[in-house]
Every structure is written in C-alpha cells, then in structure tokens.
Amino acid sequence: MIIDEKEKKEGKNEKLLVDLCECLFLLAGMFSSELFSICVPCLLKFALKKDEEEEIIKEVEVALLALSNIVFGEGTKELYLNEIKEIILHHQEHQNLTRLAYQSAWDFLIFRLDNDESLNEVIANELHFGRESTKELEVLTRNVDWKKKEEEMSKEEANEVLLITGWMKTIKSYFDSCKLWNEEYVELIGSVVQIYRTAKDNYEEIRYWCVFSLRNAAGNGFVPVDELLKSGAVDCVLEDIRKPRLNHEITYHSLTFFENISRRLKREKLEKMEEAKRKELKRKVLEKIEEEGYEDIITSFHGTFCLLSRKHYPLLSLDVSVYFVNV
C-alpha cells in the first residue's frame, strides 16, 4: 500500500501515506531498504511542521515516535540528517515539540550511530546531546514526587516517569555507541547518578536503566574512567550491590560495570594515559571498592557474568544477596 501510494502519478494522498508509514514503523520489526527510503523522508517532512495548533503538535509527536521505533533499518544520512538536525535545533530555540517528540527525535538519530560514525560529531558538538538531555532530565525530575510509589502517582507524574525512563534508555544506547567524548557528558553522568539515588527506592525500572547506562559508559573507551569516579558513578553502583534482593539483570550490569573499569585500567593504550596516572586512578577505584568490602565479591563473580546475563536463571538462587553471602 505504501509503495502503491508513493508511485501514484495523480490523486496522491499525502496524509494516508504518512498514516501508513507510521503504522509500519510502530508495528513492524523489520522492513526493506526501499520502505526505509520512502517512509523516513515522508515522516520527517511531516515532522518539520511548525504549526502551533494542538492537533498538528500531536501529529508531529506521533510521526517522531514512529521514527524512534526504527532501531534497525538501512538508509544513508542523506535521507534524514538535514531534516532531523533542523527539527532538533528548531526545538532548542523555540520549544515547539512535546517532550516525548523531542526525546523521540534524539532516539531516531542515535539509533543511526552504529552505522555511521560521522554522526558522533553532529550529536556531541553540533546538537549538544549531553547538555540537552541533562536539561530535560532536570526539568522532568523536578515534576515528580519521588516519595510516592508508582501506583500513588497522578497521571501527569506517571507520564513524567515514563519520559525519564525513555531518556535513560536513550542515554544507555548512546554510551553503547558513541566514539567521541564531550565535557558536557560529565554533567550528564552526574545527572544519571542523581536520578538513580532519587528513584532507587520506589522505581526499579528507572534504577535498572540508570545502572545499565553507567555500565555502558564504563565500557566505552571514550568515557574517561576518572570522570566516572568523580561523578559518583562508582559509589552509585556500589550502593546498588548493597541493596537486598537484587534483580538479576541489575546485578549483571552492576558487576559488568566493575569488570569494564578493571579491564580498561589494565590497558594503558586504550586510556592513553601515563603509567603513573593510570596506577593512581586504579588505586583510587580499588580503595573505593575495598572501603565497601566488595573487592572479593566482585572478583569472585568474574566467571558468572554469562549466567547472570541470561533471561532465565535456573542455576542461581532467586535471592542474589544470599549468593553473595555464600561466595
């Protein structure tokens, strides 16, 4: 239907084409490069509308949300880069998008990063992902009463929590793929740590994505280890290990965080630092772990990461804290 509508010479229904493309991206897991080349420019053209009418704003939101669902999909940046940059930059100046639409625009761009490393410069230094995501998280967290449990929240607060969760997923994906460090990410990592501490008692999903984001940052050779130490990320993950009845996957990400740091501190070339500086940084990290009494536990778990990362854990106690004691 999409191809037929696109190829019509006369009587082409642009709104129908937009609706069909949205349905495809929201419902289908895979699609051809031909459909990518038709639907992406179509939805971006629609999302470029700057009309302030509520109905148009909502339609733009749906178009960008559909685009954010394209985790995979082949297509050159000529199909989307100028348009997505214009959408993001215009919003930064005029605040014309909904918060969901803005986060969705970033998702679409960051999911293209794996296939095109040249987007690193655009995301970090032209569009200022670190600054913008930190700003969004600061606004969103101010609007939530974190002492309430999720079931006690108003609809507005619940929506804010969903948006924060979405941003955490975006940040997790970005630190998994980025290959360029920007000083703005210092505040971003600090913001992730702060949200973890604010939300850890009542919001396990946010806690999960915070730890996942920090684990990816620790494994990324472009994120300085000393910044993870100064930002409180190491303390944050240690706090998570101390919590009773840990979620297995959170445990996996927490332990992998330390495995990543240990691996990186052993590889001087990757960090490009002097030997004396590397040794001093390693000493600080190990002292932090030793202060909490977790050095042996983390070392003992070195061989269990594959088990913990599986979806089912038939060989592991349901209460991982018991397993810590046994170790």
Q: Is residue 78 part of a domain?
A: yes
pLDDT at residue 242 above 80? Answer: no
| Rounded CA separation 250/258 (Å) | 13
Nearest to residue 35, comparing CAs of 45, 25, 46? 25
Q: Tokens 């032209």 — which residue?
A: 126
Q: Is 55 exposed, middle or buried (CB count within 10 Å of its CB: 0-12, 13-18, 19+)? A: exposed
Q: Name the band, by pLDDT with cuts 50, 70 and 90, for residue 148.
A: confident
Contacts for 37-45 with beta carbons within 8 Å, 24 or more apart?
Answer: 37/75, 37/79, 38/2, 38/3, 38/6, 39/2, 40/67, 40/70, 40/73, 40/75, 40/79, 40/80, 41/79, 41/80, 41/83, 42/17, 42/18, 43/18, 43/67, 44/80, 44/83, 44/84, 44/87, 45/83
pLDDT of res. 315 = 45
Three-state SS at 202? coil
**Torsion sign (Cα): 66, 70, 75, 76:** positive
Q: What predicted TM-score, i.e. pTM, was given to this entire model?
A: 0.84
pLDDT at residue 105 above 80? Answer: yes
Q: What digits encode the pLDDT tens for the residues 153-212?
A: 888 889 999 999 999 999 999 999 999 999 999 999 999 999 999 988 888 899 999 999
CB count, 10 Å around CB of 15?
9
| Rounded CA separation 56/63 (Å) | 11
Q: Is residue 233 part of a domain?
A: no
| Rounded CA separation 165/137 (Å) | 10
Q: Residue 158 is which amino acid?
A: A
| Percent above pLDDT 90 for the chain | 46
Q: Is residue 73 part of a domain?
A: yes
pLDDT of res. 43 = 95
pLDDT at residue 319 above 50? Answer: no
Least confident interval from 143-157, 205-219, 247-261, 268-282: 268-282
* Mean pLDDT on 246-258: 77
Q: Tokens 């330390």 — which residue?
A: 258
Q: Which of 28-37, 123-132, 290-299 has the highest mean pLDDT?
A: 123-132
Q: What digits encode the pLDDT tens for the residues 279-299?
A: 777 777 777 766 655 555 555
Q: Is residue 26 part of a domain?
A: yes
Range of the domain at 56: 1-112
Determine contact, residues 6/18, Cβ cutoff 8 Å: no
pLDDT of res. 204 = 87
Q: Is residue 271 part of a domain?
A: no
pLDDT of res. 318 = 43
Q: Name the band, by pLDDT with cuts 50, 70 and 90, for residue 325.
A: very low
pLDDT of res. 265 = 78
pLDDT at residue 243 above 70? Answer: no
Nearest to residue 35, comparing CAs of 59, 9, 66? 66
pLDDT of res. 272 = 56
Q: Is residue 299 part of a domain?
A: no
CB count, 10 Å around CB of 8?
10
Q: What digits encode the pLDDT tens for the residues 59-70?
A: 999 999 999 998
**Torsion sign (Cα): 97, 98, 103, 109:** negative
What would the two tokens of residue 73 be?
């999909």
| Rounded CA separation 231/130 (Å) | 14
Q: Name the band, by pLDDT with cuts 50, 70 and 90, for residue 322.
A: very low
**Total domains in the fold of the chain:** 1
Q: Is residue 306 part of a domain?
A: no
Q: Is residue 266 part of a domain?
A: no
Determine the angle formed by the axes of helices 184-199 and 155-177, rounding to 10 degrees.
140
Query: What mean pLDDT value characterizes the chain?
Result: 83
